[in-house]
A and B are shown apart, each in its own frame.
Chain A
Amino acid sequence: MNTNKDVWVLVEAEDGKISRHATALLEEGKKLAAELSGELHALYLGPELGGIGAEAGARGAGKLYACIDGKLRQYDPLRYQQVILNLLKKQQPRLLLALSSSLGSDLLPRLAFNLHSPLVSNCAEIEVEADGELLFMKPVHKGRLFAKVRCQGEGIRIASYLPERLPSCDEAGAGSPAELVALGAAAEDKAAAIQVTGFLKADHRTIDITEADIIVAVGRGVGSKESFGLVQKLADGIGGAIGGTRPMVDAGVIPYERQIGQTGKRVAPRLIFLLGISGATEFVQGIVGGATTVAVNLDRQSPVFKAADLGIVGDLEQLMPTIVKHVRDLTGSDSRA
């Protein structure tokens, strides 16, 4: 009978600290731990990260179980599994949370199977029900419905959480740093069935737009070749891939592979710029997922502004130079390669 009511959160790092989404997950974990009358603990595997204990503690983590190993710069399935499995078998928390990132989606099934634990992947919300059990809600049928799932048996409940469903965090409150529990690194095994052999950084100039995180999309309003040159500078400045509407493909400005829309590709970026695009349904249908959208258009009444988080009304020919300069000043470099 498992009396442990703790919530553990597996955190991932980005740009030298705990990533935004992992931080938000810690907050979520804190909330659930409180409802379960348990404690929040964090779990981290990777290279040395200065201040991670403080960060985790600031979000409410009591302990930080960390396996600091320079060789874990990249996710290594078998080594992560080895380190975490032993730990979880010993500690048996109530709930283990991770992001439904590429790492989380790969790691959690391994853990769940070997712990004989129920796993609910891609959760949008988790509630504690009256009987103390957890209710997981996840989008199904491409988000049309939520399925409500309960776990059975006595095993550790394991869940991956959709990052886009996590509310964004404010500044952290005060909190003492988490107690660091060092975990032994996994032995390197050259004969392991899975070997990590390298890493390919995405080049925003060549990446397929369906995989691109940031997109700069162009439409008829872009106008001249000079303006398009500036569009490319903007894309380089923010590391965005260039996409566009069908008329731009028809006019030969961009190749067919970069067409977004009903007869083109479906894209799911985090951030998308819509430059000189009117926002016709055939185009807008091509953008799925909640992307932060910035639209620039001459016409204040253009339907594109209904789809944008930030709408800028003005003439692209005049605005592009100022926008590009502003971005350059902010990013401090010409290209983000």
Chain B
Amino acid sequence: MSGAESVLTSPERMAALLLLLAVAILAVSIVCRRVALIRSGRPVAAAPEGTGGALARFLLYVPGQWSNIRNLSMKDLAGIQHLMLFWGALFFFVYYALFFFVGDALGFASLLRGSALAQGFLGLTELFGVLLIVALIWGLARRTLLKPARLGPHFEGGLFAAITVAASALLICYFGLEALRFNLQTVSYTGPVSGLFADWLAALPSGTQAQLFHTAWWIQTAMLACFMVYVPYSDHQHAIFAPFNILASHPQPHGRFSPSGLQESYRGLAGPTDFTWKQMLEVYGCTQCGRCQEACPAATAGKALSPKKIIQHVRGSIDEAGKLVPFWHKAEAAGSVELQHRVCDEEVWSCTTCMACAEACPAFVSPLDKIVDLRRDRVMARSRFFPELTNLFRDLENFGDVFGKGKSRREDWTLGGDVRVLSEQGQADTLFWVGCQASFHDRHTKSAKSVAEVLAKGGVDMAIMGKGELCCGDPLRRLGNEYQYRNFVRKNIENLKKLHFKRIVTYCPHCYNTLKNEYPQFGGEFEVIHYTELLQDLIGSGSLKLKKQLPAKVAYHDPCYLARGNNLTKGREVLDALPGASTLDVERSGAKTFCCGGGGGAMWMRETGGAKINELRVRELVQDGPEVIATSCPYCVVMLEDGIRSLGVENVKCKDLIEMVRESV
């Protein structure tokens, strides 16, 4: 009986075994320490999802690599590369665990290699080996030659060159070894690639081949050891943690933020373990692919914020806390700084909370909730934010709205119109939640009136809260002021519960999002719809007839909080139903819509450097020469209108969708 045993000596195998065991124990201990660190994070509320759902997601996204397949386009073929890497790595993992470790090192090679199944597996593995080399070289080319923005700003070409060289060495050795096994007659078959190698190497004398075998074997062992030490510290550890993160990522609307604990013991983010275990798991499941950065409007505008860098910051500080910084980083770690100082103010406050990063991530990581936690830390633990936000917070607390106009003026917009105010004794089918913008802002009171008019024409039995309506609290939550947010939510829920209505319709997507997705967190369960949904129903059922022609080429801008936060794109359908209007295609629309730049409290804060997000979006929207830019969010209207003005674009007007509908009925 022949086998690798006859080429490798016992001491060799013993040495290799011990080396690999030692390294494996080290690697496993690193992973275990990291797992323990993750588990020391704050608990997360249990989410209602059956194991079936979780398993389906796991299978689709992990072995199925669905994110990579979904993202494939002519402009972005990187998904193919990752498929090759993933499946290749998987096959090689099995190969090395089984055939190398158990087989060669422990001496069961011939046993394992005997079956046809093994032969088939090994053949496939060799094909994947080739694909791996291609993928590695492709990856290196991307990081050194192509340099797509999302992989930057630090492309780490040197590191990837080293990895490519090391992995290629490993694979060449692998092919060589497989070939030599055949030539030295320890196995009876070759695979497709090793067959070629076998032919090339056959010319050498068998002594040389045996020498080569030992050399290649030790090179392989050394490389393996290196990788086993490297992977648990590097970005590649996402291979270990991402699958678990995907399993734990129960689906929920992007617009729903988690509540934060508001006890005496709230420490903000004093230590990295003040994150939840899910957040920490995400951070280690991050692949550093940069799709979040590519999608982020602030990063696109060249501001200090990059969602990818936020994850890096968080990871760095968690690594330090758990003393899991690899020795090759120790030099940087020496000057390490607490998380709240690592992330500068511009980064934290540039975020518009548009959720593009969370939506773009192929690995179910959300940089957004970490940014929001950083904001909560700054606002609630440190009171550290731009002074203009103090005015906003004080106006909200004293007057109950973002403008500081006061509750008693909430009904001003209805003067001259015919809008019913719902009293505690009364009843209405639909409560129209007007929102601060539509109640007070010059530009939007017209829209409030239009909503009332149009819904009346559609036969909806509607009333407003009037003076009892307070700000929904959305700006407070997005800015991190959870304490005041909770106060507002509680007051609003109390007031809403006193009234009798079946459902709430809102004008503003932010009000919609928080009333629908987040008020239940505090005990307020209401049926909430956005006016675009209601319009679409009314038009569809014939209750609302759109008569007048509005001939215009319209570019529709999907508001983040509808399209991405809640998968709601009814606005576009309403637009299509408007007679005469022709809707232009907008590249980034629907769930991929590009933020107008007005969310996350940006409306009240100073600019934080870089270009202006609204100007970028306006440029995109006017590409095909529309006459009208339409949208269904008051913040988007203001931001886009301002962008049109500051860019000096002529012959384009920005219109609120409800205005257009009113013109047409």
Direct contact of A and B (CB under 8 A): yes
Residues of A within 8 A of B (CB): 220, 247, 249-250, 252, 256, 259, 262-264, 281
A-contact 0/1 string along B525-565, CB 8 Å cutoff: 00000000000000000000000000000000000000000
The smallest C-beta distance from B130 to any residue of chain A, in angstroms, reads 54
Q: Are A263 and B604 in touch, CB under 8 angstroms?
A: yes
Closest Cβ neighbor of A262 among chain B residues: B403
B457 close to chain A: CB less than 8 A:
no
Q: Are B442 and A249 in touch, CB under 8 angstroms?
A: no
Q: Are A263 and B388 in touch, CB under 8 angstroms?
A: yes
- Besides the known contacts A259-B606, A263-B605, 15 further A-B residue pairs in the complex with CB atoms under 8 A apart: A220-B646, A247-B642, A247-B646, A249-B606, A250-B606, A250-B607, A250-B612, A252-B607, A256-B388, A256-B606, A262-B403, A263-B603, A263-B604, A264-B388, A281-B442
Residues of B within 8 A of A (CB): 388, 391, 403, 442, 603-607, 612, 642, 645-646
Q: Of residues A220, A249, A263, which shows the largest number of chain B Cβ atoms within 10 Å of its Cβ?
A: A263
The smallest C-beta distance from A239 to any residue of chain B, in angstroms, reads 27
Assembly CA distance A250 to B442 (angstroms): 22
17 cross-chain CB contacts under 8 A: A220-B645, A220-B646, A247-B642, A247-B646, A249-B606, A249-B607, A250-B606, A250-B612, A252-B607, A256-B606, A259-B606, A262-B403, A263-B388, A263-B603, A263-B604, A263-B605, A281-B442
Closest Cβ neighbor of B642 among chain A residues: A247
Assembly CA distance A264 to B388 (angstroms): 7
Provide the residues of chain B in CB contact with A256, threshold 8 Å. 388, 606
Provide the residues of chain A in CB contact with B604, threshold 8 Å. 263
Main secondary structure of the interface of A (DSSP, over half): helix
Assembly CA distance A220 to B644 (angstroms): 13
The smallest C-beta distance from A280 to any residue of chain B, in angstroms, reads 9
Provide the residues of chain B in CB contact with A247, threshold 8 Å. 642, 646
The smallest C-beta distance from A52 to any residue of chain B, in angstroms, reads 45
Closest Cβ neighbor of A266 among chain B residues: B391
Closest Cβ neighbor of B606 among chain A residues: A256
Assembly CA distance A262 to B606 (angstroms): 12
Assembly CA distance A263 to B604 (angstroms): 6
Assembly CA distance A306 to B642 (angstroms): 22
Assembly CA distance A264 to B605 (angstroms): 9
Assembly CA distance A281 to B440 (angstroms): 11
The smallest C-beta distance from A38 to any residue of chain B, in angstroms, reads 45
Assembly CA distance A247 to B612 (angstroms): 11
Provide the residues of chain A in CB contact with B612, threshold 8 Å. 250
Q: Of residues A249, A256, A259, A264, which shows the largest number of chain B Cβ atoms within 10 Å of its Cβ?
A: A256
Provide the residues of chain A in CB contact with B391, threshold 8 Å. 263
The smallest C-beta distance from A224 to any residue of chain B, in angstroms, reads 14
Provide the residues of chain A in CB contact with B403, threshold 8 Å. 262
Please count the residue pairs between chain A and chain B whose beta carbons lie under 8 angstroms apart in the complex.
Answer: 21
Provide the residues of chain A in CB contact with B642, threshold 8 Å. 247
Provide the residues of chain A in CB contact with B605, threshold 8 Å. 263
The smallest C-beta distance from B412 to any residue of chain A, in angstroms, reads 14
The smallest C-beta distance from A307 to any residue of chain B, in angstroms, reads 14
Provide the residues of chain A in CB contact with B388, threshold 8 Å. 256, 263-264
Assembly CA distance A264 to B6 (angstroms): 83
Assembly CA distance A51 to B321 (angstroms): 79
Assembly CA distance A134 to B95 (angstroms): 104
Assembly CA distance A259 to B605 (angstroms): 12
Closest 3 CB pairs of A and B: A250-B607, A256-B606, A263-B604
Closest Cβ neighbor of A285 among chain B residues: B403
Provide the residues of chain A in CB contact with B646, threshold 8 Å. 220, 247
The smallest C-beta distance from B561 to any residue of chain A, in angstroms, reads 21
Assembly CA distance A247 to B606 (angstroms): 10
The smallest C-beta distance from B287 to any residue of chain A, in angstroms, reads 35
Assembly CA distance A247 to B604 (angstroms): 13
The smallest C-beta distance from A145 to any residue of chain B, in angstroms, reads 15
Provide the residues of chain A in CB contact with B607, threshold 8 Å. 249-250, 252
The smallest C-beta distance from A259 to any residue of chain B, in angstroms, reads 8
Closest Cβ neighbor of B605 among chain A residues: A263
Assembly CA distance A259 to B387 (angstroms): 13
Assembly CA distance A264 to B442 (angstroms): 18
Assembly CA distance A328 to B604 (angstroms): 38
The smallest C-beta distance from A21 to any residue of chain B, in angstroms, reads 31
Closest Cβ neighbor of B612 among chain A residues: A250
The smallest C-beta distance from A249 to any residue of chain B, in angstroms, reads 6
Assembly CA distance A256 to B606 (angstroms): 7
Assembly CA distance A264 to B606 (angstroms): 9
Provide the residues of chain A in CB contact with B603, threshold 8 Å. 263
Assembly CA distance A247 to B607 (angstroms): 10
Assembly CA distance A220 to B603 (angstroms): 18
Provide the residues of chain B in CB contact with A220, threshold 8 Å. 645-646
Closest Cβ neighbor of A220 among chain B residues: B646
The smallest C-beta distance from A219 to any residue of chain B, in angstroms, reads 11
Assembly CA distance A75 to B603 (angstroms): 45
Assembly CA distance A262 to B437 (angstroms): 14
Assembly CA distance A250 to B303 (angstroms): 13
Closest Cβ neighbor of A250 among chain B residues: B607
Assembly CA distance A264 to B604 (angstroms): 9
The smallest C-beta distance from B251 to any residue of chain A, in angstroms, reads 37
Closest Cβ neighbor of B609 among chain A residues: A252
Provide the residues of chain A in CB contact with B645, threshold 8 Å. 220
Closest Cβ neighbor of B604 among chain A residues: A263
Closest Cβ neighbor of B389 among chain A residues: A263
Assembly CA distance A264 to B391 (angstroms): 9
Provide the residues of chain B in CB contact with A249, threshold 8 Å. 606-607
The smallest C-beta distance from A252 to any residue of chain B, in angstroms, reads 8
Closest Cβ neighbor of A264 among chain B residues: B388
Closest Cβ neighbor of B442 among chain A residues: A281
Closest Cβ neighbor of A280 among chain B residues: B442
The smallest C-beta distance from B282 to any residue of chain A, in angstroms, reads 34
Assembly CA distance A263 to B388 (angstroms): 7
Assembly CA distance A262 to B603 (angstroms): 11
The smallest C-beta distance from B200 to any residue of chain A, in angstroms, reads 65
Assembly CA distance A262 to B391 (angstroms): 10
The smallest C-beta distance from B397 to any residue of chain A, in angstroms, reads 17
Assembly CA distance A281 to B638 (angstroms): 13
The smallest C-beta distance from A240 to any residue of chain B, in angstroms, reads 23
Assembly CA distance A234 to B391 (angstroms): 32
The smallest C-beta distance from A210 to any residue of chain B, in angstroms, reads 13
Closest Cβ neighbor of B403 among chain A residues: A262
Provide the residues of chain B in CB contact with A264, threshold 8 Å. 388
Assembly CA distance A296 to B604 (angstroms): 27
Assembly CA distance A252 to B604 (angstroms): 17
Assembly CA distance A262 to B388 (angstroms): 10
Provide the residues of chain B in CB contact with A263, threshold 8 Å. 388, 391, 603-605
Assembly CA distance A254 to B389 (angstroms): 20
Provide the residues of chain A in CB contact with B606, threshold 8 Å. 249-250, 256, 259
Q: Of residues B388, B604, B606, B612, which shows the largest number of chain A Cβ atoms within 10 Å of its Cβ?
A: B606
The smallest C-beta distance from B455 to any residue of chain A, in angstroms, reads 27
Assembly CA distance A247 to B614 (angstroms): 12
Assembly CA distance A249 to B388 (angstroms): 14
Provide the residues of chain B in CB contact with A250, threshold 8 Å. 606-607, 612
Assembly CA distance A220 to B403 (angstroms): 24
Assembly CA distance A263 to B391 (angstroms): 8
Assembly CA distance A247 to B388 (angstroms): 16
Assembly CA distance A265 to B391 (angstroms): 10
Provide the residues of chain A in CB contact with B442, threshold 8 Å. 281
The smallest C-beta distance from A233 to any residue of chain B, in angstroms, reads 26
The smallest C-beta distance from A276 to any residue of chain B, in angstroms, reads 13
The smallest C-beta distance from A59 to any residue of chain B, in angstroms, reads 43
The smallest C-beta distance from B303 to any residue of chain A, in angstroms, reads 13
Assembly CA distance A168 to B388 (angstroms): 38
The smallest C-beta distance from A142 to any residue of chain B, in angstroms, reads 12
The smallest C-beta distance from A222 to any residue of chain B, in angstroms, reads 13
Assembly CA distance A264 to B646 (angstroms): 19
Provide the residues of chain B in CB contact with A262, threshold 8 Å. 403
Closest Cβ neighbor of B645 among chain A residues: A220
The smallest C-beta distance from B24 to any residue of chain A, in angstroms, reads 56
Closest Cβ neighbor of B648 among chain A residues: A220
Assembly CA distance A264 to B603 (angstroms): 12
Assembly CA distance A252 to B646 (angstroms): 14
